A = this chain, B = another copy of it.
Amino acid sequence: MNSSYVIGVDFGTNSARAIVVSCADGRTVGTSVADYHSGEHGVLTHPKDPHLARQNPADYIGALGQSISAALSQAATTPGFARDRVIGIGVDTTGSTPLPLDARARPLAIDPQWESHLAAQAWLWKDHTGAGEAAAITAIAREHAPQYLEPIGGTYSSEWWWSKIWKCLKVAPEVFDAAASWVELADFVPAVLAGVDDPRRIVRCVCAAGHKAMFSDAWGGLPSKEFLARLDPKLAGLRDRLYDHAWPPGKPAGQLCQAWADVFALREGITIAMGGFDAHYGAVGSGIEVGTLVKIIGTSTCDCAIAPANVGNIPGICGTVDGSIMPGYFGLEAGQSAVGDIFNWWVEVVCEGGDELHHRLSREAAALQPGESGLLALDWNNGNRTILVDPKLTGLIVGQTLHTTRAEIYRALIEATAFGARAIIDRMREYGVRIDRVVCCGGVAEKNDLLMQIYADVLGQPMLIAGSPQAPALGAAISAAVTAGAAAGGYDSWTDAQRHMTTLKEKRFVPDAKAHATYNELYGIYRQLHDSFGNMPGAAVADLGTVMKRLLAMQAAVSA
C-alpha cells in the first residue's frame, strides 16, 4: 500500500485552503483555511470604480505559509502520517490574476515604493477595468491576427492577462516601467515554493498561457511583437521579458526550497507541481475524463471538458487549449459569469434577507412545478461569459402578474442559470465534444438540492457530485502525486491517480421525464429571448409576440 502524501493548496478569492492528502486513496488527513487580510475579505477595491478588484501579493505568501503549516499540524494526528512521507505540493489559483514582478521575481508590491499603489498589486480575475482594452484587442486581432482568437472563442475578455497589463500601462505607466516581468498567480505561488529568483526561470502553465494570454506553439508562443506593437510599442518590448514556453501539467515547477522546507518541516527538494487554475485542477479532482463535463458551481460557474483531439474553434467557448487540463488532451473551458451570485442578489439585495430567507425561498420554490409560475428569466445579471461572450448584457424577467411571489422569482432565477448551463452543453455537443456525464463540485452543488434537481431536469442528465468538497485542492494534490512520479511514491499516470484518489458522492440527482419535457419547452422560449437580447450571431430576429401567451398556456396546463 502506498503510504505517501501530497499537499494541495487552493488560492480562492478570499482565502487559501491547504489539504494534506493520502496518495493511496485521496483521503484528506489535514486541512486548513487562511484568510487574506487586506481590503474587503482580501479584495482591494476603489470607491469610485466598481470594476476594480486587486489583491495584495503579501496576502498570498502569508496564507501559503499559514494554511500548509496548519494542515500539516492536523495531519500529524493521523496514524501513519509523517512529514517525510510528503512527496510533493500542488497549487491552484484563481485566474487570470496577473501581477508585476521585479528582477528577482518578487512582487513589485512588496517594495515600499509601490506597496500602496493599486496598479502594482495582483489584478484579480474579476477586475474589469480593462473592458475597453479587451474590446480593442478583439478588434485589432480580428483585423490583423484572427488566428489568435480561435482557441479562445472569438472574443478577448477584460478579465484576461493582456487587457490588465495594457490597462496598467495606460493608467500607471510608472508601474509598468518598473516591472521586470509579469506572472500569473498560478505560476507565481509554485515559483515561491521553489525559491525561483529570476522571472525567466518561472515555469509557466499552458492553462493560463493558452486560455488567457493568446499563447500557442502554433504561432511561436505569445502574440507577435508586431501585434503587440499595434496595441502599444511598450507591450512589444515587454514580450521579451515574459516567456517563450508554456507547459501542460506534469512538468515540475521546481523543488521545495530550503527556506520553505524549514518553515513546514518537510523534506527539501520534494516536487513542486506546476500551478494551474482552480477550475482546471477542480476538474482533475472531480475525475474528469473524455465524456465527462465537470461543473464547478459557486457564485459563478466554470465548465471543463477534455477532448482527445483538437475540436477546433468553438464559437463562444472561452478556450480550447492543448494540455491545459491534463496532458494529452485538449482542455475546454466555459462558464457562466453569475450563478450563486444571482440568487444572493435576489435574496440579499432585493429581498434584504439572509441565510434563513435562502432556505425559506428554497422550500417554497421546491413546492412549485416547472412552468407553474409562468415566469422566465435570463441569467445575465453579470453578463454572459459563454456562449455569447458579452459582459454588457443584463438580467431580464418576464411573466410577472400581480400575484407573482419572491419564491417564484427565486425559482425562475435558478431555472435561468440551468438554461444557461444547457446552452453551453448544447454548444459543445454541436461541435463534437462528447458529454455523457456531468459531475459537479463547488459550494452550490454541495448544498443546493433544489438547484441540482432543476439542473438534472433541464439538462435531462443525472447530476453527479464529486466526492471531495475540495476538488480543486485535490486536483492540485493529484498533480503533485503525478509530477513526483511512481518512483517517489506517486503515480505515473493521471488516470491511475484519479482512479485511486477521486470518488463520487452516493447522492445524485436524476431527471424527471415530465419535468424535462416541460423544461424542453421553456428552454425553447429561453433561447428565443437569449438569441434576441443577446444578439446571437446568425440567429434570426425573433418574433416575441407570443412569448407571454406561451408562458401563460404552460402555466394553465400545469394548474389544470
Contacts and interface: CB of A to CB of B under 8 A. Distances in A.
Interface in A398-442: 398-406, 409
How many copies of this chain does the complex contain? 2
Given A350-B409, A351-B351, A394-B551, A402 B545 contact: no
Interface string A342-375: 1011000111100000000000000000000010
Given A381-B401, A401-B382, A544-B544, A350 B532 contact: no
B341 A402 contact: yes
A338 interface: yes
Interface stretch (A145-153, A473-481, A533-541): A533-541
B535 A546 contact: yes
Given A374-B394, A397-B396, A402 B548 contact: no
A393 B548 contact: yes
Contacts of A374: 394
A547 interface: yes
Most chain B beta-carbon neighbours within 10 Å: one of A50, A403, A409, A536? A403
A552 interface: yes
B397 A349 contact: no
B399 A394 contact: yes
Contact of A533 (B400, B405, B406, B547): B547
Contact of A402 (B338, B409, B535, B547): B338
A496 interface: no
A397 B400 contact: yes
Interface centre among A351, A409, A532 (most CB of B within 10 A): A532
A40 interface: no
A233 interface: no
A395 B401 contact: yes
B406 A401 contact: no
Nearest to A544: B532
A545 B396 CA distance: 13
Interface in A497-553: 532-536, 541-549, 551-552
Nearest to A399: B394
Contacts of A46: none
Contact of A404 (B350, B542, B545): B350
Contact of A381 (B392, B396, B404, B532): B404
Task: From A349, A394, A541, name the one whose CB has the most chain B CB atoms within 10 angstroms.
Answer: A394
B401 A398 contact: no
A399 B374 CA distance: 20
A349 B404 contact: yes
Question: Residue among A50, A338, A344, A544 with the most chain B CB within 10 A?
Answer: A544
Contacts of A395: 397-401, 404
A50 B403 CA distance: 10
A409 B395 CA distance: 12
Contacts of A545: 532-536
A347 to B, nearest CB: 12
Nearest to A345: B402
Contacts of A544: 532-533, 544
A543 B533 CA distance: 8
Specify which of A351, A404, A536 lies most central, judged by the most chain B CB atoms within 10 Å of its CB.
Answer: A404
A381 B402 CA distance: 5
Contacts of A409: 350
Given A381-B401, A396-B397, A406 B548 contact: no
5 contacts: A350-B405, A380-B548, A381-B400, A394-B400, A398-B533
